[in-house]
Amino acid sequence: MIRVQQEDFDVGLELRKLTENNHSIGGVASFLGLVRDIASDENISAMTLEHYPGMTEKLLEEIEAEAHQRWELDASLIIHRYGRMEPGEQIVLVVTCSKHRKDAFESCEFLMDYLKTKAPFWKLEETSKGGKWVDARDSDDDAASRWHEE
Amino acid sequence: MKILYFAWLRTSIGKSTEEITPPVEVKTVGDLLNWLPSLGENYASALEKRDLLRIAVNQEYAELDQIIKTGDEVALFPPVTGG
């Protein structure tokens, strides 16, 4: 399941909803991304996430489907927020549920790596010097590319 | 053809979307990127750094040789930074 939304989310509630009626699940892995207050040595007062409505949902559905092909998953969830957020706020949640932990751990990392390099989101940071668009990082491309080799 | 711009491409071009009718010689994504700078200085400077451009046609990532046609939705944006 994927959701692209402006509102915050409740991690505990999301995990419960995903697992409560599925007792074949033996392990749940999750990743929660938060807004930091410092990036590139600058203080950040807030961040605005822009996205491409339509393509974002399509991309997230594609990478989720790929994760289900590559690993044995009983359920999964991707929530990504857009709009303005302040340090400490939750940006993204990826949850993968499987019978065994290996599939859950690996697929969760795969989903985050792919999301970071493919999903059409852009971060604008607010600093004392004004707004600054965040540059993409090579390390994110490297992280995503290792999944091709297996 | 509908064009969408995101992030700093949107702010430097000064609009998020527009309807354009490129000349008939514009057949591919690459042709479109060569033609757009003729629309003005703001386009020329925004599209200058080719390696920082990502393109989607009808909401799918596209390469420079992809054929585009009337009615397509073409989006231009910088490398993504979500997550």
Q: What is the pLDDT of residues B9-66, one digit of tens each?
A: 999 999 999 999 999 999 999 999 999 999 999 999 999 998 899 999 999 999 999 9
Decide if A34 touches B, using CB distance below 8 A: no
- Closest CB to B83 among A50, A115, A135: A115
Average pLDDT of every residue of chain A: 94
Residue A136: per-residue pLDDT:
87
User: A123: which chain B residues are within 8 Å (Cβ-Cβ)?
Assistant: 81-82
For residue B8, pLDDT over 60 is answered with yes
Q: What is the ipTM of this complex?
A: 0.94
Q: What is the CATH number of domain A2-133?
A: 3.90.1170.40
- Contact of B4 with chain A, judged by CB distance below 8 Å, is answered with yes
Residue among B7, B8, B83 minimizing CB distance to A116:
B83
What is the bridge-based pairing of β-strands A38-39 and A46-51?
unpaired
Calpha distance B69→B1 (Å, rounded): 7
What's the sign of the alpha-carbon dihedral A136, B3, A7, A28? negative
Q: Which residue of A has its CA nearest to B58?
A: A55
- Residue whose C-alpha is closest to residue B79's, from A116, A83, A127, A48: A116
Token digits for A90? Answer: 């939750």
Residues of B in contact with A133 (CB under 8 A): 7-8, 78, 81
Per DSSP, helices labelled H in B28-78 are 29-35, 41-46
On chain A, the residues whose CB falls within 8 A of the CB of B58 are: none
Residue A79 — φ and ψ, nearest 5°? -120, 130
Domains of chain B (ranges, CATH numbers) = 2-77 (3.10.20.30)
Question: Does residue A2 belong to the interface with chain B, where contact is any CB pair within 8 Å?
Answer: no
Quick: pLDDT tens for A29-38.
999 999 999 8
